[in-house]
């Protein structure tokens, strides 16, 4: 789904999500024959009306102000633990679990910004269409090669003194062996930390989605369905977070120089993932 958000100055220019038009642009035949009650269900699950109302109210906000507006919309609070472990003058790659989908990201951005100043968050490049987050979001293409402009932005940010936020799993947590946890972290963040000489700060975000989300994921997997249909419900899961207080646990920086002593990036990724999940009990 491609959404275009401009720096709107009037209600007529403000982005309004129209699910029916999006479906029609991708599959006109499906849009024509899709029953009205199914379309109504899709709109309700995606919270089209509520999101559009928010986009109207907050269209003039950008970067960290927009992040705070999202947190205010859902009456989200968060408590930070261990941030004193992180020197304010350092250049870090903050590596975190990804338990929720959106609210965890907003808390992550706000917490690092409050303590460390300006930061960049590595996200799928399709999210760059959400212009209200400019210039926080840093593009990476998970489905193909980087275009030259995005590659340049990525390289410049990693070379800068800006703090970098990263989800090594690249995927929202699922219930694995009875516990809500990420899939194995990919080694790319280890290689990036070494390449750009950034120490890694492990971060554990303590929240989770509803039982429905994990149950649907389990059923889908058991049926051998490859499409992650549970992702369709992430907007609904975001609204279910309303009023919650999240806890963010920051570990001590792991120097990039120690990473170079071990040639096995995949094993390092697994070890840092284990460290991250222990932060809550430390």
In this structure, the answer to whether residues 34 and 162 fall within a common structural domain is no
Instruction: Determine which helix (DSSP H) or strand (DSSP E) holds 223, and give its type and residue range.
Output: none
CA-to-CA distance for 24 and 18, rounded, in angstroms?
10
Q: Give the predicted TM-score (pTM) of the model.
A: 0.90
Query: pLDDT confidence of 140, banded at 50, 70, 90?
Result: confident
Query: pLDDT confidence of 142, banded at 50, 70, 90?
Result: low
Looking at 39, 60, 81, the residue that finishes a domain is: 60
CA-to-CA distance for 282 and 1, rounded, in angstroms?
41
Can you name the residues that pair with 163 across neighbouring β-strands?
119
In this structure, the answer to whether residues 92 and 213 fall within a common structural domain is yes
Contact 241, 78 (CB under 8 A): no
Nearest to 121 by CA among 131, 132, 129, 134: 134
In this structure, the answer to whether residues 179 and 228 fall within a common structural domain is yes
Peptide bond into 135 cis (omega under 30): yes
In this structure, the answer to whether residues 104 and 14 fall within a common structural domain is no
- For the chain, what is the domain count? 2
In this structure, the answer to whether residues 69 and 53 fall within a common structural domain is no
Bigger pLDDT: 26 vs 93: 93
Q: Please give the pLDDT value at position 146.
A: 67
The predicted-structure confidence for 184-207, as pLDDT tens digits, reads as follows 999 999 999 999 999 999 999 999
Question: What are the CA-CA distances from residue 238 to residues 48, 125, 277 (Å)?
Answer: 13, 21, 22
Q: What is the span of the domain harbouring residue 9?
A: 1-60
Q: Please give the pLDDT value at position 49.
A: 95
* Structure tokens given for 254: 């792991």
Using the 8-state DSSP alphabet, how is residue 77 labeled?
A: E
In this structure, the answer to whether residues 50 and 178 fall within a common structural domain is no
- Model confidence at 172: pLDDT above 70: yes
CATH number of the domain to which 190 belongs: 3.40.1130.10
Nearest to 168 by CA among 145, 188, 154, 195: 188
In this structure, the answer to whether residues 44 and 88 fall within a common structural domain is no
In this structure, the answer to whether residues 222 and 276 fall within a common structural domain is yes
Q: Please give the pLDDT value at position 159.
A: 97
- Model confidence at 241: pLDDT above 80: yes
CA-to-CA distance for 141 and 178, rounded, in angstroms?
31
Looking at 60, 77, 95, the residue that finishes a domain is: 60
In this structure, the answer to whether residues 93 and 110 fall within a common structural domain is yes
Backbone Cα Rg of the chain = 19
* Structure tokens given for 131: 């212009």
In this structure, the answer to whether residues 116 and 66 fall within a common structural domain is yes
Q: Please give the pLDDT value at position 265.
A: 93
- Model confidence at 164: pLDDT above 90: yes
Bigger pLDDT: 32 vs 252: 252
- Model confidence at 4: pLDDT above 50: no
CA-to-CA distance for 222 and 217, rounded, in angstroms?
9
In this structure, the answer to whether residues 99 and 27 fall within a common structural domain is no
The predicted-structure confidence for 80-89, as pLDDT tens digits, reads as follows 999 999 999 8
Show the DSSP H helices in 117-204 as ranges.
148-159, 188-195
In this structure, the answer to whether residues 43 and 147 fall within a common structural domain is no
- Model confidence at 263: pLDDT above 80: no
């Amino acid at each position: 789904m491609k959404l275009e958000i401009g720096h709107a100055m009037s209600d007529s220019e403000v982005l309004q999500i129209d699910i029916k038009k999006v479906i029609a642009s991708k599959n006109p035949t499906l849009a024509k024959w899709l029953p009205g009650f199914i379309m109504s269900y899709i709109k309700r699950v995606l919270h089209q009306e509520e999101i559009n109302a928010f986009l109207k109210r907050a269209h003039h906000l950008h970067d960290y102000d927009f992040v705070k507006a999202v947190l205010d919309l859902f009456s989200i609070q968060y408590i930070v633990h261990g941030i004193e472990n992180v020197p304010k003058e350092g250049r870090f790659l903050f590596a975190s679990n990804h338990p929720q989908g959106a609210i965890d990201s907003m808390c992550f951005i706000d917490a690092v910004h409050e303590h460390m100043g300006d930061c960049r968050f590595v996200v799928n490049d399709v999210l760059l269409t959400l212009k209200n987050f400019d210039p926080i979001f840093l593009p990476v293409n998970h489905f193909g090669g980087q275009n030259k402009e995005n590659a340049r932005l990525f390289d410049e940010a990693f070379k800068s003194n800006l703090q970098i936020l990263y989800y090594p799993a690249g995927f929202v947590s699922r219930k694995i062996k009875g516990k809500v946890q990420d899939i194995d972290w990919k080694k790319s963040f280890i290689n990036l930390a070494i390449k750009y000489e950034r120490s890694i700060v492990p971060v554990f975000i303590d929240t989770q989605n509803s039982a429905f989300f994990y149950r649907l994921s389990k059923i889908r997997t058991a049926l051998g369905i490859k499409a992650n249909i549970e992702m369709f419900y992430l907007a609904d899961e975001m609204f279910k977070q309303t009023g919650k207080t999240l806890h963010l646990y920051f570990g001590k920086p792991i120097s990039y120089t120690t990473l170079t002593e071990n040639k096995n990036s995949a094993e390092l990724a697994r070890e840092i993932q284990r460290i991250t999940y222990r932060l809550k009990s430390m």
